[in-house]
């Protein structure tokens, strides 16, 4: 029996697909890519914007056309929010919301159904355990899910509605998976969740998680996106400590450089607070790099607000910015507001993307002449490529087999989103 996975959306979805993929393998299935026919297709969906919903519907239809005999299971955030829309697509056999999605095999029908089986349970508020070890796609970096849900109700975001209240993974249970991933040879673990800085289970917080993982001697522990107000001094201390394996990297979603917009978004900080934290973190953590997310064209954003965001990224030590065009999402508090034209939203997004490109060039240029450690991920178009501890993408040439090794590379030329270097054997 063959199964393939199509994962849309965030790193958390990727890590959940990895867990499910392993549970299928344990039940005797082979994983295939989407070029080969399959007996089961799993679509792990995203609903962060209405554009994501429409992408999910297109993917589902495309898969059904390509695999008319396969059992089609749709799971995850859009399955939670768009239960009815998905079940009306002809050819879907199973729709599972977020609470039960990791138990997919329990609900999978043995053959194609006339009408889809629907599973949507109330999302639990309790801490959770996961008993399967994730089957990561790459061989170097594995995601480790430590948290789910969010209690912050940002005005543009549907995630708390579809993933429920903030809750953490049982501490001992996450260590079991981490140990196994280390034994499988992964060199980097990426902590994932919706709002991971709020992790709190049985008296343990994210600092305890970092310390326990560091003791496993995995070379790198990376914190994925984390809300600025949830980062403790202890987390920065660990990034600054040369004997701790937590890498000096922060992805700190800023969302807007305007106080007016931050307030309308119900973010938990002002622009001044974000700036003050940013410089404090740079002072404290040697070699730190900081990336951010911004949303352009929210209903409350004027041209002046947008200029503030642009200037903010230009003037402060932000090394790259992921720019997202605001897309209205039913169920959020922003949805009933008057929306600005899509053309303007896209124009603003493009300007931030151009600015981010310049910032990445500056980031690379700042490091020229340095020799950095790169965890080599893959070879593509004749170049090995991988990331530094502070998440710079580096490419270089070598005939040696270097996948999943940490090697030294002298940086020679910034090329925008990556830096060209020379391998130092």
Q: Of 19-27, 102-110, 152-160, 308-316, which segment contacts ligand SF4 by CB under 6 A?
A: 152-160
148 lines the binding site for ligand SF4 (CB under 6 A): no
Q: Of 87-95, 154-162, 277-285, 384-392, which segment contacts ligand SF4 by CB under 6 A?
A: 154-162
305 lines the binding site for ligand SF4 (CB under 6 A): no
231 lines the binding site for ligand SF4 (CB under 6 A): no
Of the pair 181, 278, the CB lying nearest ligand SF4 is at 278
Contact in structure between 312 and 244 (CB atoms under 8 Å) = no
Of the pair 42, 48, the CB lying nearest ligand SF4 is at 48
Q: CA 291, CA 315: separation in Å to the nearest integer? A: 14
159 lines the binding site for ligand SF4 (CB under 6 A): yes
Q: Judged by CB under 6 A, which of 227, 305, 319, 334 binds ligand SF4?
A: 227
Q: Of 77-85, 153-161, 208-216, 277-285, which segment contacts ligand SF4 by CB under 6 A?
A: 153-161
Shortest Å distance, C-beta 255 to ligand SF4: 7
Q: Judged by CB under 6 A, which of 150, 281, 285, 310 binds ligand SF4?
A: 150
| Region for 54 from its dihedrals, namely left if φ exceeds 0, alpha if ψ lies in -120 to 50, beta otherwise | alpha
Of the pair 107, 152, the CB lying nearest ligand SF4 is at 152
Query: Rule CB under 6 A: which of 334-393 touch ligand SF4?
Result: none
Shortest Å distance, C-beta 1 to ligand SF4: 36
Q: Of 23-31, 157-165, 296-304, 410-418, which segment contacts ligand SF4 by CB under 6 A?
A: 157-165
Shortest Å distance, C-beta 8 to ligand SF4: 17
Contact in structure between 191 and 222 (CB atoms under 8 Å) = yes
Of the pair 81, 157, the CB lying nearest ligand SF4 is at 157
Of the pair 116, 257, the CB lying nearest ligand SF4 is at 257
160 lines the binding site for ligand SF4 (CB under 6 A): yes
Contact in structure between 185 and 404 (CB atoms under 8 Å) = yes
- For residue 86, give both structure tokens: 């998905």
**For tokens 């990561």, what's the residue?**
136
The contacts of residue 267 (CB under 8 Å, 6+ apart) are 154, 255, 256
DSSP for 382-415 reads TEEEEE-TT--EEEE--SS--TT-EEEEEEEEE-
Q: CA 54, CA 136: separation in Å to the nearest integer? A: 27
Element (H, E) at 192: strand 188-192
Shortest Å distance, C-beta 333 to ligand SF4: 11
48 lines the binding site for ligand SF4 (CB under 6 A): no
Q: Helix/strand/coil (H, E, C) string of 118-175?
A: EECCCCCCCCECCCCCCCCCCCCEEEEECEECCCCCCCCCCHHHHHCCCEEECHHHHH
CB-neighbour burial class of residue 348 (10 A; exposed 0-12, middle 13-18, buried 19+): buried
Contact in structure between 140 and 188 (CB atoms under 8 Å) = yes
Smallest CA-to-CA distance from 198 within 249, 157, 147, 163 is with 147
Site string for ligand SF4, 184-203 (x = CB under 6 A): ----------xx--------
Q: CA 162, CA 149: separation in Å to the nearest integer? A: 8
Q: Of 149-157, 202-210, 242-250, 327-335, which segment contacts ligand SF4 by CB under 6 A?
A: 149-157
Of the pair 254, 411, the CB lying nearest ligand SF4 is at 254
- DSSP-derived 3-state class of residue 295: strand
Residues in the site for ligand SF4, rule: CB under 6 A? 150, 152-154, 157, 159-160, 194-195, 227
């Amino acid at each position: 029996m063959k199964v393939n996975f199509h994962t849309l959306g965030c790193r958390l979805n990727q890590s959940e697909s990895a867990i499910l993929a392993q549970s299928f393998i344990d039940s005797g299935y082979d994983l295939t890519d989407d070029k080969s026919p399959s007996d089961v297709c799993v679509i792990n969906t995203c609903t962060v914007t209405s554009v994501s919903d429409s992408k999910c519907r297109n993917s589902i239809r495309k898969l059904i056309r390509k695999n008319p005999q396969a059992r089609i299971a749709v799971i995850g955030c859009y399955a939670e929010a768009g239960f009815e829309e998905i079940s009306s697509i002809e050819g879907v056999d199973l729709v599972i919301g977020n609470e039960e999605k990791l138990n997919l095999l329990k609900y999978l029908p043995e053959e194609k159904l006339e009408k889809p089986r629907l599973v949507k349970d109330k999302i639990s508020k309790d801490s959770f355990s996961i008993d399967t070890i994730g089957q990561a796609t790459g061989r170097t970096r594995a995601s480790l899910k430590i948290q789910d849900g969010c209690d912050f109700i940002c005005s543009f975001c549907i995630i708390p509605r579809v993933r429920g209240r903030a809750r953490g993974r049982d501490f001992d249970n996450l260590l079991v998976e981490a140990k196994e991933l280390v034994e499988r040879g992964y060199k980097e673990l990426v902590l994932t969740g919706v709002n991971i800085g709020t992790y709190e289970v049985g008296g343990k917080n994210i600092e305890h998680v970092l310390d326990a993982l560091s003791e496993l001697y995995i070379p790198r522990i990376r914190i994925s996106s984390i809300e600025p107000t949830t980062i403790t001094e202890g987390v920065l201390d660990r990034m600054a400590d040369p004997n701790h394996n937590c890498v000096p990297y922060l992805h700190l979603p800023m969302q807007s450089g305007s106080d007016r917009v931050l307030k309308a978004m119900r973010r938990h900080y002002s622009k001044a607070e974000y700036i003050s934290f940013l410089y404090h973190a740079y002072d404290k953590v040697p070699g730190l790099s900081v990336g951010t997310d911004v949303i352009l064209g929210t209903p409350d954003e004027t041209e002046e607000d947008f200029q503030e965001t642009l200037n903010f990224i230009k003037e402060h030590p932000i090394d790259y910015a992921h720019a997202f065009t605001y897309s209205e999402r039913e169920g959020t508090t922003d949805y009933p507001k008057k929306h600005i034209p899509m053309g303007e939203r896209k124009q603003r997004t493009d300007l931030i993307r151009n600015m981010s490109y310049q910032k990445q060039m500056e980031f690379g240029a700042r490091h020229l002449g340095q020799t950095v450690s790169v965890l080599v991920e893959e070879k593509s178009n004749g170049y090995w490529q991988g990331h530094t501890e502070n998440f710079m993408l580096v490419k270089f040439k070598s005939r040696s087999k270097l996948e999943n090794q940490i090697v030294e590379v002298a940086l020679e030329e910034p090329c925008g989103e990556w830096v060209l270097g020379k391998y130092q054997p």
